[in-house]
């Protein structure tokens, strides 16, 4: 009588192993999701129409102080420092205090493109009086054709 050799079924051979491919897929989707959400959160601090430029550096310092200038309906401007409304004098005190904490403080000024420079100038002057070494005017990069 002839004996047949016993072969294991392919599913039984891998019974003790865990397939991690679906786990890796889920982790990659979560990473992409958080990267996109984080980018959107930093881009939309206030509803401003920033001026565009084709030149300039894309430099992102550590935790800059973000000052936003939005034009008002009556010709005045509203100034927000890290999302908190301030006056130009209060901004000077705030910048001076932040420089005392961190001498290499970077300030980014985000001004609406419709705001005349006369509304942005008090912000720049307040930062200068506070002793700020570097002030950055934020714009959106336009694509070159």
45 — pLDDT class (breaks 50, 70, 90): low
pLDDT at site 32: 93
Per 3-state DSSP, the chain is made up of helix, strand and coil in percentages (nearest 5) of 35, 20, 45
Q: Is the pLDDT assigned to residue 42 strictly greater than 70?
A: no
Sign of CA dihedral 136, 124, 83, 52: negative
40 — pLDDT class (breaks 50, 70, 90): confident
For 113-135, how does the pLDDT look when each residue is reduced to its tens digit (9 = 90+)? Answer: 888 888 889 999 999 999 988 88
pLDDT at site 92: 92
Domains of the chain: 10-43 (no CATH), 52-141 (3.30.420.270)
Lowest mean pLDDT among 4-8, 82-86, 107-111: 4-8
Q: Provide the 10 A C-beta neighbour count for residue 115.
A: 18
């Amino acid at each position: 009588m002839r004996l047949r050799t016993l072969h294991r079924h392919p599913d039984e051979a891998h019974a003790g192993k865990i397939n991690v491919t679906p786990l890796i897929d889920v982790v990659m989707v979560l990473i992409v999701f958080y990267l996109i959400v984080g980018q959107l959160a930093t881009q939309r601090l206030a509803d401003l129409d920033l001026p565009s430029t084709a030149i300039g550096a894309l430099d992102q310092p550590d935790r800059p102080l973000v000052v936003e200038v939005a034009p008002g309906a009556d010709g005045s401007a509203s100034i927000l420092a890290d999302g908190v409304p301030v006056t130009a004098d209060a901004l000077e005190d705030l910048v001076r205090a932040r420089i005392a904490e961190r001498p290499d403080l970077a300030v980014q000024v985000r001004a609406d493109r419709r705001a005349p420079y006369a509304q942005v100038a008090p912000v720049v002057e307040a930062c200068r009086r506070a002793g700020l070494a570097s002030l950055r005017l934020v714009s959106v990069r336009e694509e070159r054709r």
